Amino acid sequence: MVNANRGLRVWLARSSQADDRRGCSGGMPRPCLFCAALVLLAQVALATDIDGVQPAALDQPRVYIHLRRGLKGAPLSTGKGAEQTINVTAFLDTGASGILLSKTTADALGIKAEAAAGKPVVFHDVGVGGGDQFNVSEPLFVFMASSGKNGEPADASGYPMSFGPVRLQLGQSAGLMDMLTGGLDVLGMPAMKGKVAVLDPRPVDTFGDTMHAGVLERNDPRIPKTDRHVLLSYADFKPFTKLTPANAPGPALAENPFIGPNPITGKGAMPPIVVTYNGKRATGSFLLDTGAAASMISTKLAEKLGVTIDANNKLVGPPDAEQFSFTIGGIGGQKKSPGFHLDSLTIPTREGDPLVYTKAPLIVSDIEVEDPMTHQKITLDGVLGMNYFVASANVDETALLPDINHMAACAYEWITIDEPAGVLGLKLKKEFAEAGKPKIEIRKSVKPK
Measured from the Cβ of residue 231, the count of other Cβ atoms closer than 10 Å reads 17
Predicted local confidence at residue 334, as pLDDT: 58
Task: State whether 136 and 260 are in the same domain.
Answer: no
The answer as to whether 401 is a domain residue is yes
Task: State whether 19 and 162 are in the same domain.
Answer: no
* Cα distance between residue 66 and residue 395, in whole Å: 33
Task: State whether 52 and 140 are in the same domain.
Answer: no
Task: State whether 90 and 129 are in the same domain.
Answer: yes
Task: State whether 266 and 393 are in the same domain.
Answer: yes
**Number of compact structural domains in the chain:** 3
* Cα distance between residue 411 and residue 431, in whole Å: 8
The answer as to whether 278 is a domain residue is yes
Q: How confident is the model at residue 138 (pLDDT cuts 50, 70, 90)?
A: very high
Q: Give the model confidence (pLDDT) of 251-274 as tens digits.
A: 999 999 999 999 999 887 899 999
Task: State whether 262 and 168 are in the same domain.
Answer: no
Task: State whether 269 and 406 are in the same domain.
Answer: yes
The answer as to whether 211 is a domain residue is no
The answer as to whether 222 is a domain residue is no
Predicted local confidence at residue 97, as pLDDT: 95
The answer as to whether 421 is a domain residue is yes
Task: State whether 50 and 93 are in the same domain.
Answer: no
Give me the DSSP letters along 231-284.
E-EEE--GGG-EEESTTSPPPP---EEEESS-TTT----PPPEEEEETTEEEEE
Predicted local confidence at residue 12, as pLDDT: 24
Measured from the Cβ of residue 12, the count of other Cβ atoms closer than 10 Å reads 15
Residue 156 has what DSSP assignment? G
**Which domain covers residue 137, as residue numbers?**
62-195
Predicted local confidence at residue 373, as pLDDT: 83
Of the listed ranges 68-82, 271-285, 381-395, 427-441, the one predicted with least confidence: 427-441
Task: State whether 352 and 394 are in the same domain.
Answer: yes
Task: State whether 82 and 182 are in the same domain.
Answer: yes
Residue 294 has pLDDT above 50, yes or no: yes
Residue predicted with more confidence, 432 or 310: 310
Task: State whether 296 and 412 are in the same domain.
Answer: yes
Predicted local confidence at residue 339, as pLDDT: 94
The answer as to whether 430 is a domain residue is yes
Instruction: Give this prediction's pTM.
Output: 0.84
* Cα distance between residue 414 and residue 61, in whole Å: 12
Average pLDDT, the chain: 82
Report the percentage of the chain scoring pLDDT > 70. 77
Task: State whether 29 and 96 are in the same domain.
Answer: no
The answer as to whether 206 is a domain residue is no
The answer as to whether 30 is a domain residue is yes
Q: Give the model confidence (pLDDT) of 12-27 as tens digits.
A: 222 333 333 333 333 3
Q: Give the model confidence (pLDDT) of 314-346 as tens digits.
A: 999 999 988 988 776 554 455 678 999 999 999
Q: Which contacts qualify for 159-164: CB closer than 8 Å, 24 or more apart?
A: 159/64, 159/65, 159/66, 161/195, 161/215, 161/216, 161/217, 162/71, 163/190, 163/191, 163/193, 164/71, 164/139, 164/140
> Which residue spans within 146-225 are E strands per DSSP?
161-166, 169-171, 185-187, 196-200, 212-216
Residue 222 has what DSSP assignment? T
Residue 4 has pLDDT above 70, yes or no: no
What average pLDDT score do residues 40-58 get? 74
